[in-house]
Amino acid sequence: MLPHVVSGHKEGDDNREYVINLEKHVQTLTNTLRVYTSYLEKSYDFTLELMGDALELRDVEYRGHSRRVTAYTIAIARAMGVSKNDIAVFARGAFLRNVARLGIPDLILKKRPPLNAEEMSTMREHCVLGYRMLRRIPFLQDASEIVYAQYADKALGVATSIDGAREAIRKLSGKQFDPKIVQVFLRMPITIWSDLRREIEVWESK
């Protein structure tokens, strides 16, 4: 009986050692995967920035727009207490909101409003096209929802001044914009938007 008991203890020790080694191996793989995921995300973000730059090269008036919208989005998200991970999603969605404009003809893209019905339809389609482009990438699936939800600015017409934009957003609270987000936006110091714009212009000039 004694040899059998000893054998049982040895088998139990071997099992525990196997489980411990397996856990270490899984942890190592998890850490490696986390490193590679971080690297891929950085690579994606770099690629996305190049896409944004390519879009802005097509339209001089659009230059700096993606970065401004992204900066404004991050500022509002922080004011709302959004988590760091969600802010990253919002930032990517904001930066890529008009990515499908790359496929819009210059004749429409550079035309001054108002646009005719067919041109407006083309402009609005870029939201859906952008969504379809981005949702195929697992890393950008959440951001694609933001692209899908946004409106075609040039097609609808928007205020160009900060005061005008604030008033337009206030009037559309509860209709086109979430009232809670509008309240946060309106409570933020009006100077923050011009300050962010200047910071982006300085950064782009380097």
CB atoms within 10 A of CB 2: 6
Tokens of 123: 């402009």
Question: What's the confidence (pLDDT) of residue 184?
Answer: 95
Better pLDDT: 31 or 141: 141
The yes-or-no verdict on residue 168 having pLDDT over 60 is yes
Residue 151 CA to residue 168 CA, distance in Å, equals 14
| Per-residue model confidence as pLDDT tens digits over 11-26 | 556 667 766 766 665 6
Question: DSSP letters of 13-55?
Answer: HHHHHHHHHHHHHHHHHHHHHHHHHHHHHHHHHHHHHHHHHHH
Better pLDDT: 72 or 125: 72
Mapping DSSP to helix (H, G, I), strand (E, B) and coil, where does residue 97 land?
coil
The yes-or-no verdict on residue 182 having pLDDT over 80 is yes
Domain ranges of the chain: 1-58
Tokens of 201: 């212009």
pTM above 0.85, yes or no: no
What average pLDDT does range 61-77 have in this prediction?
Answer: 83
Q: pLDDT averaged over the chain? A: 77
Mapping DSSP to helix (H, G, I), strand (E, B) and coil, where does residue 96 land?
coil
Better pLDDT: 42 or 166: 166
Beta bridge pairs of residue 177: 173
| Per-residue model confidence as pLDDT tens digits over 120-142 | 888 778 788 888 888 888 888 89
| Per-residue model confidence as pLDDT tens digits over 86-109 | 988 898 888 888 777 777 787 887
